[in-house]
Amino acid sequence: MRRWSPSACRGFTTDKHEPSLSKVALSWSSGKDSAWTLHLLRQQPRIQVAALITTFNSAADRVAMHAVRRALVEAQAERTGIPLWAVDLPWPCSNLEYEDRMRDVCQRAKAEGVTALAFGDLFLQDVRDYRIRQLKGSGLEPLFPLWQIPTDQLGRDMIEAGFKAKITCVDPSKLAKTFTGKEYDMGFLQALPFGVDPCGENGEFHTFLYDAPVFSRPIAVEPGEVVERDGFVFADFLPQ
């Protein structure tokens, strides 16, 4: 098993005795995995997480797939004390347009002294390979702090560490609609049918994190409507 360690930061230092502080931007989905990535990065004393990067569906003003309201993501960023870099995407959005917008983000990162982008990917090799290709030549190093951590253990670790999240989106072809809106807790993990990844890495479900040690205080939310759209089931959560 390959776990992330300070050696993943190779190339960040300029002196073998006095390593320089490395500025990292983190891809922030609003869910548990990106928050756990922040948790691990903060354990590295020579890393400064300088920005949270979130893509929004500009038509809906929500995070793509997770369908989390922008106001809630802004509340997350405020509670981490890290600037939010919002990337507004048109809807529908072609892959070419997406890559153009992300290229602009990379240029901004370089201009502000960022040396790497971190992602919360777990085991999907094609996604990892795509990110590496997109950063090639950008001057930014891709980091994957959660890579190949067993997801059953990872899910338990997050819950035991006090990470609290709601299920905001379910793919009903992979998981029953009744899981939408549920709390991501031990009961949720135990109720998952065989073959569903405990962290939803295959797209079975997505989450919104409302409380965690990476926050200065919890985010109070209340449940809204549950809707089925574009082949997915979404649970809305509103800031209190």
Please list the rounded mean pLDDT of every run of 10 residues in the chain (240 residues). 36 44 95 98 96 94 92 98 95 89 95 97 97 95 97 98 98 98 98 98 98 98 95 96
Give residue 16's pLDDT. 43
pLDDT number for residue 225? 96
In order, the DSSP letters of 158-222 are: HHHTT-EEEEEEE-TTTS-GGGTT-B-SHHHHHHPPTTS-TT-TTSSEEEEEEE-TTSSS---EE
| Host H or E run for residue 78 | helix 70-80
| Cα→Cα distances 139→8, 103, 133, 143, 182, Å | 16, 12, 12, 13, 41
> The domain 6-239 belongs to what CATH superfamily?
HUPs (3.40.50.620)
What are the sequence ranges of the domains in the chain? 6-239
216, with CB counted inside 10 A (0-12, 13-18, 19+), is exposed
- Structure confidence at residue 21 (pLDDT): 78
The confidence score (pLDDT) of residue 124 equals: 97
**pTM for this prediction:** 0.90
206, 192 contact by CB (below 8 A) = no
Give the three-state DSSP class for 157.
helix
φ and ψ of 10, to 5 deg? -55, 140
Tokens 């082949």 belong to 231
